[in-house]
Amino acid sequence: MTTIGLVRHGITDWNVLGRAQGISDIPLNNLGKQQASALANRLVLKGDWDIIVTSDLARAKETGQIIAAKLNLSINVFDKRIREINCGEIEGTTEEERLKKWGSNWRELDLGMEKFDDVSDRGYEFITELANTYSDKRVLVVSHGALIGLTLQRLLPERFQKTQLDNTSITILNIKQGVWNCSLYNCTKHLD
């Protein structure tokens, strides 16, 4: 059985401000670093991980590096396929700014945002490849909320019709004989 832990990165200043981050390379803020450290402390107590893979964006890399240092592991891969959804023209804007600039139907406009199906396709392909490459290993993946959520919806559509992932939440997937299972979803008990 292969186990994959999906971690959403720690919080950033743009998260706090409600700005769409997308592929903008925004670093963790101090709270985000504390969240990553709290998750790292939890992961040390909860068993061995063999491999760490992160998105190549700063907020995921920083989260992964904090965890890797605590687990005495190196990050095996920084992969752009598990970047956040490209938000096109809305990157860096708040909901209020979007309403002012494009009106209440801004979601219906073509503002260069990556399609959800394309995001779920790349997430699905990445996770499937990871499961095949690291069969019977425990792999920690540090990525982004929309990418993780859309990937879960693709892998387990009957369970995940909607998703909401908190910063530094961990979700655990297992695959055995080609069947995916989710044993833990959006858990942040390390932040209590």
Binding residues: 8-15, 59
| Binding site feature residues for substrate | 8-15, 59
Q: Is 91 a catalytic residue?
A: no
Choose the catalytic residue: 84, 91, 144, 190: 84
Contacts of 110 (CB under 8 A, 6+ apart): none
Q: Is 114 a catalytic residue?
A: no
Choose the catalytic residue: 9, 62, 91, 144: 9
Active-site residue list: 9, 84
